[in-house]
Structure 1
Amino acid sequence: YISGENHYPILSSGQLETSSVSLNSLPETYLSVLFNDSEQIKVFVSELAQISPELKAAIQKVELAPSKVTSDLIRLTMNDSDEVLVPLSEMSKKLPYYSKIKPQLSEPSVVDMEAGIYSYTVADKLIMEAEEKAKQEAKEAEKKQEEEQKKQEEESNRNQTTQRSSRR
């Protein structure tokens, strides 16, 4: 189902139903698709058709998560709180490896299949994001400090020039 304000069923052909389904009419378990590009939905449905029923049932929602390198990267949120990052175009090839990796995960994790396959915990992800944010803020603060210093130097130069011309 395409989810947003309304839920629209996706047919096995990748076509969307034109009439929405009310929240209480949705099946007990359903896959929530959080993007609406018709071509990407068709590719997703095609890739999903090649995946085992057990693996399909483990997926809670899917959303686009493009990176600098992979424009068709998607994030699958699994029912067990794990996240899987996988290129949409390679989902049927790479996603089955999740079943082999899952038993090795002791806490909610991110399994990154963008280039190769590796995993890290959600806690590690939050730490990495916080470190990245801190680095960015430090860069911005340094830049601001350099700009302030430059302004002060320019102001000082102007004052010296003004003093020289007033002495004449």
Structure 2
Amino acid sequence: MAKNKEKKEEPVLTEWQKRNLEFLKKKQAQKLEKDKLDEKRLAEKRAQLEEMKSFEKEETLEDEGKETSSAKDDKEASEEKSQAKKAKSSQLDEGKEKLPKKKAKPKKERQIPPSQIWQAVAVLSLSVLVLLIAVFFISPYSRQKALTVSGNTNANQIELLDQTGIKASDYITTIFWHRNAYAKAAANKNQWVKKADLVYEFPNRFILKVTEYRVIAYSQTAQGYVPILENGRRLETVNATELPSSYLVINLENEADIQSLIKQLSALNQDLVSQIKTISSANSSSTKDLLSIEMTDGNTVRIPLSELEKKLPYYSKIKDSLTGGQIVDMEVGIYSTNAAIEASIAASRTSTEETSSETSADPNASSQSETVSDNSQTVTEATTSQVSE
């Protein structure tokens, strides 16, 4: 009964408490096992250390004994090796003497193919050229140029250069590639210029070569003398002091006649044109375009404007046979006369006209008029001489 009471007095544990107790018991058991293992490991390490120390002592004793014996062995081995080397060297020398000497082969140098060399030279040359061109355009030398004019007598040099349109900022290459356009601009803007060429000279020189229109004649006006160029263009009026030593004066009013005259004079030989002093209208009733040309040698030529280019060259052939003050009439054919003869002919014509008018009034004067007409015809035949070519 007492035992039963004790059993009844023990507390009843829950499941969680039971598990906790078991866990704690396992923990204690594991800890005990771990401590035992650590003690074993320490004991093993101590034993290993003692063995290592004893082993090292034995090795040191053996090494000391070996060093003494190995020193003797090394000396003997080195002597044997030296003797063996000497024997081998002697054998090699004998073998070399017996063997024929081989000729040393020259080392072949690697040669670059010529095609590759030329390709490299071409590439380098092109690269250098491009570099030089780039440097040139960047530098101020690409805009430095020398401009001059040649062949101009009447045209002003500064005006001509300005009329080309070339600027200080223009590149040399720009002027070179457009030189024809610059020359044409100067020719169009300047009334003196007949033809212009812009020529380039290395390295930076440009020459504007000009061909001017010739002054064919001067037209006399109240303000002065107007130069007329070979293309028919009139220039500004000049004073008598500005005229050359010899010049041709045109005294015509009709502009169309002046242009036609200039055109024909330009086609004639300039030596012949230079002998002309003045050209005026002859005021002929029969030939309206009849001109009276006064030559520098004192002779006068009468010639139609429409036939000037055709007939005037004949004057060069007959002028040597003429005396001073002759009149060469080329209106119909070619013949020469003088002022005295023409005055007598004019007087005879006027007297004939007067007698004819009197005859109509008085029949008895018919015989006198016939006598006067006969005399005038005789004077004309006696004073007029035909000139052959």
Q: Do both proteins adopt the same fold according to a TM-score greater than 0.5, normalized to the shorter chain? A: yes
Determine the structure 2 residue equivalent to 1:100: 317
Verify the 8 A CA contact 1:2 1:36 in the aligned structure 2.
no
Shift of 1:3: 1.3
Verify the 8 A CA contact 1:34 1:64 in the aligned structure 2.
yes
SS in 2 for 1:10: strand
Higher fraction of helix:
2
Give the whole-Å Cα distance in 2 for the aligned partners of 1:78 and 1:14: 22
AA in 2 matched with 1:121: N
Aligned residues: 144
| Pairing 1:11-50 to 2, within 5 Å after superposition | 11-17=229-235, 19-50=236-267
Determine the structure 2 residue equivalent to 1:158: none
User: Moved runs in structure 1, 4+ residues, more than 6 A?
Assistant: none
Determine the structure 2 residue equivalent to 1:124: 341
Determine the structure 2 residue equivalent to 1:112: 329
1:93-152 Cα deviation digits (max 9, x unpaired): 100001111111123111111111111123212222333344445556x38x94xxxxxx
Give the whole-Å Cα distance in 2 for the aligned partners of 1:67 and 1:100: 26
1:66-85 Cα deviation digits (max 9, x unpaired): 42332111110011111101
Verify the 8 A CA contact 2:264 2:309 in the aligned structure 1.
yes
Give the whole-Å Cα distance in 1 for the aligned partners of 2:350 and 2:246: 36
User: CA distance change for structure 1 residues 71 and 57 in 2, over 3 Å: closer, same or farther?
Assistant: same
Verify the 8 A CA contact 1:47 1:89 in the aligned structure 2.
no
User: CA distance change for structure 1 residues 136 and 38 in 2, over 3 Å: closer, same or farther?
Assistant: same
My pick for the range that moved more, 120-129 or 87-96, is 120-129
Verify the 8 A CA contact 2:281 2:290 in the aligned structure 1.
yes
Structure 1 stretches of 5 or more lacking a match?
Answer: 147-168
My pick for the range that moved more, 45-54 or 64-73, is 64-73
User: CA distance change for structure 1 residues 137 and 20 in 2, over 3 Å: closer, same or farther?
Assistant: farther
Verify the 8 A CA contact 1:61 1:76 in the aligned structure 2.
yes
Give me the TM-score of the superposition, normalised by structure 2.
0.35
Give the whole-Å Cα distance in 1 for the aligned partners of 2:241 and 2:347: 38
Structure showing greater relative contact order (alpha-carbon pairs closer than 8 Å, 6 or more residues apart): 1
Q: CA RMSD in A?
A: 2.1
User: CA distance change for structure 1 residues 137 and 43 in 2, over 3 Å: closer, same or farther?
Assistant: same
Shift of 1:48: 0.5
Residue number among 273, 293, 315 corresponding to 1:56 in the alignment = 273
1:9 maps onto 2:227 in alignment: yes
Give me the TM-score of the superposition, normalised by structure 1.
0.76
Verify the 8 A CA contact 2:297 2:324 in the aligned structure 1.
no
Structure 2 stretches of 5 or more lacking a match?
Answer: 1-217, 362-389
Determine the structure 2 residue equivalent to 1:159: none
AA in 2 matched with 1:63: S
Give the whole-Å Cα distance in 2 for the aligned partners of 1:38 and 1:88: 13
Give the whole-Å Cα distance in 2 for the aligned partners of 1:80 and 1:3: 21
Verify the 8 A CA contact 2:278 2:295 in the aligned structure 1.
yes
AA in 2 matched with 1:115: V
Verify the 8 A CA contact 2:220 2:226 in the aligned structure 1.
yes
Determine the structure 2 residue equivalent to 1:81: 298
Shift of 1:15: 2.5
- Considering only CA atoms, is the larger Rg found in Structure 1 or Structure 2? 2
Give the whole-Å Cα distance in 1 for the aligned partners of 2:241 and 2:219: 15
User: CA distance change for structure 1 residues 136 and 8 in 2, over 3 Å: closer, same or farther?
Assistant: farther
